[in-house]
Structure 1
């Protein structure tokens, strides 16, 4: 029965601005068998006054004695995992939201595909005021890890639902600086054996706001190194896998061929975004830093021209 499935919705919390909205979105679920795990990462903000207003036994609130910090944010994800008692786990941002039927749709998907270790909710982007920006693409109801790795899609940590036991056996969330691509690799590991099933209705709302780590330009060089670590992981992972059907074999070969281009695309996108936000200072910075990061002069020029186009046109 779907009602027997227990979900752990975990919120590694630091900022206060949208925390109430995040919690309210979980409590508004049409499926009621869940727990909410909130871990305060030694925040300087008054999260206590927000959480203590709730009188709901499903909410469990913990506070870290020491701040994990943005660079080691994955440590707090794994602290959340350590407190979870549910069968399946979501780790969502303190500024993100679930739609009311998110857990209900996940429960139905689990009943249809009970042997999987990973599920995914269709997502949409919202702005600072919770207005809809865009709905992200539909995905096949089931796909292999090769399909997940090969097809370029916009994913976020809170999109994914992990089988808690398997996530723990896999060592928890894969750690990279600032969590950059940690969610992707953790998902690939979880999908390696049995693939992933996707809900067809929107279940997760990712808030695209300037306060998130993904918009923090001060750590861009660490993020570039995280991308390169991720690329090495991808190469090793594909080399260790054995596809059991022609389509997955084809995708595995395409992934091998594309991995170098993938690294270049990811790095160039970050450099272009950095230059676009602070054109004069960052274009000068990357002119001198490009050799350190193995960025050719022609790539630097392309990034700069693209930044000019996106900034001024």
Structure 2
């Protein structure tokens, strides 16, 4: 371990407050609670807010006789944002570890993230990648996310890049805000929080999974995806315009290279042209097309060619390079129409 290991062992000071809101989570709650209580780092408080559950959630929580649990119950369901704000206001720790009642913490999650924040004072948020599991706990895949501050904040222009239940946040930074979680951003409260925190510190994603993220029919991100998407577009625009974040072309190139390889090229291209800023569309289009050619030189996967032979593929690449200045000037619907023919 790093030089923070002595701090972790002393138990003299409450360093971490784990905050979890619970609403009708009886199916997964035991596994979630036990994954926190069995952490390798033991000096924490576990704040559980029961948000008016009508199932067996409360009785399950009462099964655990552990002095680290701080229990509070809402008389009726008040919603996630209210409950999180309540939980954070009760916290005594220097760091807030968010967690959800249907996910699972890896054993070294708190220790790993605490090590990072104690040793890197310029950072105020540390997240991680995650394993994806289904309702039965079966492995489904990975969430892979950008690592460095500049990569995360650049990619935040397009979508949320920090997994909320895998995040640990410096309490000092939270206290500098006018409020913790904004009630005006229901179902996108985490994205708004990252926006608010982005100007007062750096972000980092540890490149190993520290939680198992459960995907099931009752996920908020699934049940309220429409509202979440609308608010996310507003927040992504704000990420572009706030003075503290500068759009980093090189960082986006690196992100784009990875995404072109890992995702379908159509999705990446559409994502670029789904942005409202005409200037940004033009700029990113150039990066995209240059990136495709650079990928070809590096042996990466290129867009689906409409010619099969090696010689005609080469013609295809040349056409793309010549077309991109023209495409930057065309209306979005024309671009999409053209590329739907070209790519699909």
TM-score (ref. length: structure 2):
0.65
Q: Distance in 1 between matches of 2:232 and 2:154?
A: 20
Q: CA deviation at 1:263?
A: 7.0
Query: Any conservation in 1 of the 2:117–2:124 contact (CA below 8 Å)?
Result: no
Q: Is the contact made by 2:125 and 2:167 (CA closer than 8 Å) also made in structure 1?
A: yes
Instruction: Name 2:183's counterpart in structure 1.
Output: 175
Q: CA deviation at 1:5?
A: 6.2
Residues 45 and 242 of structure 1: CA distance in aligned 2, closer, same or farther (over 3 Å): closer
Shift in alpha-carbon separation, 1:196–1:211, aligned structure 2, 3 A: same
Q: Which residue pairs with 1:197 in the alignment?
A: 204
State the distance in 1 between where 2:126 and 2:82 align. 22
Question: Quick one: which of 31, 46, 54 aligns to 1:36?
Answer: 46
1:1-313 pair list within 5 angstroms: 1=4, 2-3=7-8, 6-15=15-24, 16-69=26-79, 73-137=80-144, 139-140=146-147, 142-143=149-150, 146-150=153-157, 155-170=162-177, 171-180=179-188, 182-216=189-223, 220=226, 222-235=227-240, 238-241=241-244, 243=246, 248=248, 261-262=274-275
CA RMSD of aligned residues (A): 3.4
1:81-105 superposed Cα distances (whole Å, 9 cap, x missing partner)? 1111111112221101110000111
Q: Measure the CA separation in 1 of the matches of 2:113 and 2:209.
A: 11
Gaps of 5+ in 2: 256-270, 278-332
**DSSP-derived class of the 2:114 partner:** helix
Change in Cα spacing, 1:176 to 1:226, as seen in structure 2 (3 Å) is farther
Q: Provide the aligned length of Structure 1 versus Structure 2.
A: 257
Q: Secondary structure at the match of 1:67?
A: coil
Cα deviations by residue, 1:145-190 (Å, 9 ceiling, x for unpaired): 633524756643112111122113212023345422x212212322
CA distance in 2, matches of 1:101, 1:213: 26
Greater CA deviation, 143-152 or 77-86? 143-152
Residue of structure 1 equivalent to 2:283:
none
Q: Distance in 2 between matches of 1:151 and 1:234?
A: 9
Unaligned runs of 5+ in 1: 265-297
The CA distance in 2 between the partners of 1:132 and 1:20, in whole Å, is: 19
Alignment partner of 1:31: what SS? coil
**CA shift in 2, pair 1:107/1:156, >3 Å:** closer
Q: CA separation in 1, counterparts of 2:194 and 2:149?
A: 14
Give the number of the structure whose alpha-carbon radius of gyration is greater: 2
Equivalent position of 1:269 in the other structure: none
